[in-house]
């Protein structure tokens, strides 16, 4: 039962951080590290039981009568993800304490959002309910949107944040539809139940899986939806290290790995996952080779590695499942190390451009050693964890290990993996050389040595990759626990040495070819420059948005005429066309019956109802024919009082009193309005326009009347209100009226509260706006201050005190921002795609 409290701890600490940042400065991130550190420690404590085959399950009852609860599950896959999300997250939070300056803009908000994101991501990987997973999933999308757009003064930050939200949340809606379909056909929304008994018989299952995969691909930046991830590099470097290396982008990989045991054999799951994953791996590696910005190089490298993880997670075999855990942990360790390394280099030197860096390895040997180890792990060089994971991945696609259902796919996938791994080695070597090598053509920069605590974070994560490579037993135990869920393929153990195997030969081939790619990088650059420019995925995104905007504008121009009668006519016509047609068909076919009294239809319960109905009809018709505004107001008020009379006849005096008060108040208010309007209506429609309006209104009124009439015959059970007194004891109260308001009709009460709150906010806004307007008007002018620009200053440069003028591109300038290097390099915008 401890896991729900850990999730609540994230939500409780986040609101405190803005105040702590004001008091402690960046050191408040050490407090922010407490919730993820607590989660990581708890997960490690549970690890022995989890890898032994006893998952930790927790269920918090929410609405027991409806069978709705909050179900949590910690199994080997969730354990691996929790270690990455919370363990690496705590390290990155500690790194932030030395990365940011005290004058960083909105630092408290950034700290709070990071903690909320950490808790939401932990919820994604531990929940056992599809709807709860979707809620946490969208929380990560919203918090990442705010984190990417942290410096909202930058246009590229706002654009990148919006782009990531549109892609991830937009395709998340498709995923939600898939969840609903999957839960409906499976008879449960608990993931463990669906995996234990997959609904393989349903024709809707492939549709549901394709929709779910679309959401997973968008979150994990799979081609052609990969373009948002390099653009998101405009975020502060610790944010990139956490969201785009250790946590958020692995959400899609986790979802695929979670569902693969039950659905990997369902067409077209495997074909889609393997094709998209391999294409993403190759595209990301090819684009990474041409990047000059170290952060963009890592961004495209992350795209490539996510493609690698996606095809492993969705392959659906035991060996691929083992490789998934190995590569998943290795990627979290080496990629967070490399991002944090770039942050230190950028923080100390003011640049992260390969063409401007030289001698960094000589000046920062400890950092260089940690980063080179991490790059070697990314390249798959022994004895690091990345090498062990990549060997398992190659083993998974050897022809003798491929399941019988896809013998021809395995050689093709193996070839693609080798090619993509060669590209990975090439850009890994390019990173190590570009960041730390001495370059004769580049002038060395002066900078201060970073603090030891600042360098500690990348050293720690890099050391974990080395230690777990030398001793992979803990990782292997988790991987075998996850692989036990699969039936296809042969078992496989993560180990540093398996003997002289075909995979070892493929690894040697990858290293040799990767060295050639790096040595011949100038030739690779010329080949890339000579290749024709293919359709860029981001261009397609903008074209799609332009088409949507254009279509929306045209539809709006044609449908939003600004005429209230037209809008009401469309609403009434729709009412008659849809439910009205259903009512007519039901009455004609006998599917809908009228209330009856003896041999004929029941017209009323008392003749007084007929008298009131005549009053309502006469006053309504007279309102239409009246051309004076005052007379029409009195007649329509009489119609409302007639409806109040019906409430009295049906035993609802409270509703009748409310309606009388509303009608009276409305009449008084409209009387004051009519004083400023002409005595008669300015236009009186004639001819077919008037006839059509009267016919439409009469038809709509007839439909409402007949529908309400038939509804009185639809009841088959006794009114539930008769059991209110009997159920009062079950609700735990003594006052029946209070129970009706707060329990039995709680949604009605909630809706009324929302309406009242909305009205109060509107009134308060108008009052405050009016007060502010009066203050501005009545404020005396200070003639001692002249608004003329100073000598040599252009008139456009003269601004009010404390307000900075527009900077380049129309963006407001002023204030301080530490992430200046994240914005430009040599006057060029950074953080976007190349």
Predicted pLDDT at 37: 97
List, as one string, the DSSP characters of 689-729. Answer: HHHHHHHHHHHHHHHHHHHHHHHTT---S--GGGGHHHHHH
- How far from 437 is each of 293, 354, 431, 610, 810, CA to CA, in Å? 15, 10, 10, 95, 39
Q: According to the model, what pLDDT value does residue 49 have?
A: 94
Q: pLDDT band at residue 409, thresholds of 50, 70 and 90?
A: confident
SS3 149: coil
pLDDT tens track for 291-336: 999 999 999 999 999 999 999 999 999 999 999 999 999 999 999 9
Whether residue 167 is preceded by a cis peptide bond, meaning omega within 30 degrees of 0, is: no
Output the pTM of the full model: 0.78
**575 has a pLDDT exceeding 60:** yes
Taking alpha carbons only, the member of 744, 754, 687, 750 closest to residue 719 is 744
- Cβ atoms of residues 238 and 98 within 8 Å: no
Strand partners, 71: 59
- Range name among 12-16, 393-397, 743-747, 808-812 with the lowest pLDDT average: 808-812
CB 335 within 8 A of CB 245: yes
Cβ neighbours of residue 43 closer than 8 Å, sequence gap 6 or more:
74, 79, 82, 83, 86, 87
CA 96 to chain centre: 24
The Cα–Cα gap between 405 and 399 comes to: 12
Instruction: Indicate the pLDDT class of residue 593, thresholds 50, 70 and 90.
Output: confident
* Angle at CA of residue 508, ends 505 and 510, nearest 5°: 110
User: What are the tokens at 679?
Assistant: 């005595």
Q: Which is higher by pLDDT, 448 or 730?
A: 448
Helix (H, G, I), strand (E, B) or coil at 221: coil
Q: How far is it, in rounded angstroms, from Cα 196 to Cα 101?
A: 51
Q: Please work out, in degrees rounded to the nearest 5, the angle formed at the alpha carbon of residue 498 by the alpha carbons of 497 and 500.
A: 105
More confident residue, 14 or 596: 14
Residue 406: what pLDDT? 58
β 828-829/824-825 pair status: antiparallel
Give the Cα separation of 86 and 302 in Å (integer): 20
CB of 643 closer than 8 Å to CB of 616: yes
Instruction: Return the domain boundaries, the chain.
Output: 2-519, 582-714, 733-762
- Buried b / exposed e across 259-293, counting CB within 10 Å, b at 16+? bbbbbbbbeebbebbbbbbbbbbbbbbbbbbbbbb
> pLDDT tens-digit profile of 222-232?
999 999 999 99
Strand partners, 68: 63
On whether the CB atoms of residues 56 and 3 are closer than 8 A, the answer is: yes
Contact call for residues 85 and 121 (beta carbons, < 8 A): yes
Q: What percent of the chain has pLDDT over 70?
A: 89
Highest mean pLDDT among 490-494, 529-533, 806-810: 490-494
Q: Is the pLDDT of residue 531 over 70?
A: yes
The 8-class DSSP code of residue 70 comes to E
Specify which residues 74 forms β-bridges with.
56
Phi, psi at residue 151, to the nearest 5°? -90, 85
Asked if residue 782 has pLDDT above 70, the reply is no
Higher pLDDT, 413 or 246: 413
Instruction: Please give the pLDDT value at position 257.
Output: 97
**Triad 471, 476, 482: Cα angle to 5°:** 160
664, 644 contact by CB (below 8 A): no
**Cβ neighbours of residue 558 closer than 8 Å, sequence gap 6 or more:** none
Kindly give the residue spans of alpha helices, DSSP state H, lying in 712-788.
Answer: 724-731, 736-739, 746-778
C-alpha 278/C-alpha 321 separation (Å) is: 16
Tokens encoding 527: 């080949």
Is there a contact between 233 and 204 (Cβ–Cβ < 8 Å)? Answer: no
Q: Which residues contact 129 (CB under 8 A, 6 or more apart)?
A: 69, 70, 71, 189, 190, 191
Q: Do the Cβ atoms of 72 and 32 come closer than 8 Å?
A: no
Q: What is the mean pLDDT of the chain?
A: 86
Measure CA of the first residue to CA of the last residue in the chain; give whole Å.
48
Q: What is the pLDDT of residues 124-144, one digit of tens each?
A: 999 999 999 999 999 999 999
* Angle in degrees, CA 251, 257, 262, rounded to 5: 135
In whole angstroms, give the CA distance from residue 411 to residue 490: 17
pLDDT digits (tens, 9 = 90+) for 324-371: 999 999 999 999 999 999 999 999 999 999 999 999 999 999 999 999
Residue 75 and residue 321: Cα distance in Å, rounded? 14
What pLDDT, on the 0 to 100 scale, is given for residue 722?
79
Identify the residue whose tokens are 């081609």.
223
CB 305 within 8 A of CB 331: yes
Task: Please say if the pLDDT value at position 110 is more than 70.
Answer: yes
Whether 248 and 121 have beta carbons less than 8 Å apart is answered as yes
Mean pLDDT within 407-413: 76
Distances in whole angstroms, Cα of residue 282 to Cα of each of 134, 145, 419, 523: 30, 27, 8, 18
**What pLDDT sits at residue 831?**
40
Q: Tabulate helix, strand, coil % of the chain (nearest 5).
A: 70, 5, 25
Q: How confident is the model at residue 407 (pLDDT cuts 50, 70, 90)?
A: low
* DSSP state, residue 732: T
| Beta-strand runs (E) in 142-234 | none
pLDDT at residue 809, as a whole number: 38
Backbone angles phi, psi at 68, to 5 degrees: -100, 125
Considering the domain delimited by 582-714, tell me its CATH architecture.
Up-down Bundle (1.20)
């Amino acid at each position: 039962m401890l896991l729900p409290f850990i999730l609540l701890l994230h939500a409780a600490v986040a609101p405190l951080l803005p105040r702590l940042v004001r008091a402690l400065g960046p050191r408040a991130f050490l407090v922010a590290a407490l919730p993820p550190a607590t989660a990581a420690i708890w997960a490690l404590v549970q690890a022995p039981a989890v890898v032994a085959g006893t998952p930790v399950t927790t269920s918090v009852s929410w609405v027991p009568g409806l069978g709705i609860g909050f179900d949590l599950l910690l199994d080997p896959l969730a354990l691996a993800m929790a270690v990455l999300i919370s363990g690496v997250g705590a390290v990155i939070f500690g790194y932030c304490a030395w990365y940011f300056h005290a004058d960083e803009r909105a630092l408290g908000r950034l700290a709070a959002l990071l903690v909320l994101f950490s808790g939401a991501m932990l919820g994604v990987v531990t929940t056992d309910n599809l709807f709860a997973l979707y809620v946490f999933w969208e929380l990560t999308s919203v918090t990442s949107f705010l984190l990417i757009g942290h410096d909202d003064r930058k246009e590229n930050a706002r654009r990148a944040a919006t782009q990531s939200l549109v892609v991830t949340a937009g395709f998340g809606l498709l995923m939600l539809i898939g969840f609903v379909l999957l839960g409906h056909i499976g008879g449960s929304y608990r993931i463990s139940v669906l995996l234990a008994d997959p609904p393989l018989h349903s024709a809707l299952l492939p549709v549901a899986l394709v929709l779910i995969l679309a959401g997973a691909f968008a979150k994990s930046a799979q081609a052609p939806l990969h373009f948002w991830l390099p653009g998101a590099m405009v975020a502060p470097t610790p944010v990139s290290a956490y969201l785009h290396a250790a946590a958020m982008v692995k959400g899609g990989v986790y979802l695929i790995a979670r569902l693969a045991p039950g659905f990997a054999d369902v067409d077209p799951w495997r074909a889609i996952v393997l094709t998209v994953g391999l294409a993403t791996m190759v595209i990301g590696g090819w684009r990474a080779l041409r990047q000059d910005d170290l952060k963009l190089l890592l961004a495209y490298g992350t795209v490539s590695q996510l493609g690698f993880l996606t095809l492993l997670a969705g392959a659906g075999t035991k060996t691929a499942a083992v490789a998934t855990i190995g590569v998943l942990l290795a990627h979290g360790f080496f990629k967070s190390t490399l991002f944090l390394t770039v942050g230190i280099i950028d923080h100390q030197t003011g640049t992260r451009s390969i063409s401007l860096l030289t001698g960094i390895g000589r000046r920062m040997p400890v950092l260089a050693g940690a980063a080179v180890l991490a790059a070697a792990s990314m390249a798959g060089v022994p004895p690091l964890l990345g090498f062990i994971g990549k060997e398992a991945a190659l083993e998974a696609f050897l022809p003798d290990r491929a399941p019988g259902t896809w013998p021809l796919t395995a050689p093709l996938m193996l070839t693609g993996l080798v090619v993509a791994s060669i590209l990975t080695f090439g850009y890994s070597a390019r990173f190590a050389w570009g960041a730390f090598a001495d370059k004769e053509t580049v002038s060395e920069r002066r900078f201060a040595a970073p603090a030891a605590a600042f360098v500690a974070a990348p050293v720690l994560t890099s050391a974990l990759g080395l230690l777990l490579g030398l001793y992979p037993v803990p990782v292997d135990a988790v991987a075998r626990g996850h692989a036990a869920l699969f039936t296809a393929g042969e078992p496989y153990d993560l180990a540093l040495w398996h003997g002289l195997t075909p995979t070892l030969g493929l690894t040697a081939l990858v290293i040799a070819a990767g060295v050639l790619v790096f040595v011949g990088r100038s030739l690779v650059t010329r080949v890339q420059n000579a290749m024709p420019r293919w359709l860029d995925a981001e261009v397609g995104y903008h074209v799609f948005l332009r088409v949507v905007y254009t279509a929306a504008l045209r539809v709006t121009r044609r449908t939003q005429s600004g005429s209230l009668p037209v809008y009401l006519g469309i609403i009434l016509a729709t009412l008659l066309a849809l439910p009205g047609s259903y009512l007519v068909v039901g009455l004609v076919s006998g599917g809908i019956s009228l209330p009856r009294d003896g041999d004929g239809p029941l017209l009323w319960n008392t003749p007084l109802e007929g008298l009131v109905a005549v009053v309502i009809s006469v006053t309504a018709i007279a309102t239409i024919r009246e051309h004076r505004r005052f007379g029409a107001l009195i007649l329509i008020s009489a119609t409302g009082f007639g409806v109040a009379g019906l409430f009295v006849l049906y035993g609802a005096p409270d509703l009748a009193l409310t309606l009388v008060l509303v009608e009276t108040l409305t009449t008084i208010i409209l009387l004051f309005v009519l004083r400023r309007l002409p005595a008669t209506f300015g236009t009186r429609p004639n001819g077919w326009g008037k006839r059509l309006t009267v016919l439409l209104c009469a038809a709509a009124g007839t439909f409402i009347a007949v529908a309400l009439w038939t509804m009185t015959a639809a009841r088959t059970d006794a009114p539930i209100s008769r059991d209110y007194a009997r159920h009062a004891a079950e609700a735990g109260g003594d006052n029946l009226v209070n129970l009706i308001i707060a329990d039995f009709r709680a949604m009605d009460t909630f809706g009324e509260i929302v309406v009242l709150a909305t009205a109060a906010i509107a009134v308060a806004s108008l009052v405050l706006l009016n007060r502010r307007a009066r203050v501005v008007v009545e404020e005396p002018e200070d003639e001692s201050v002249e608004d003329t620009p100073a000598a040599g200053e252009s008139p456009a440069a003269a601004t009010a005190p404390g307000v900075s003028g527009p900077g380049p591109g129309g963006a407001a300038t002023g204030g301080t921002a530490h992430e200046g290097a994240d914005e430009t390099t040599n006057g060029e915008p950074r953080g976007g795609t190349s």
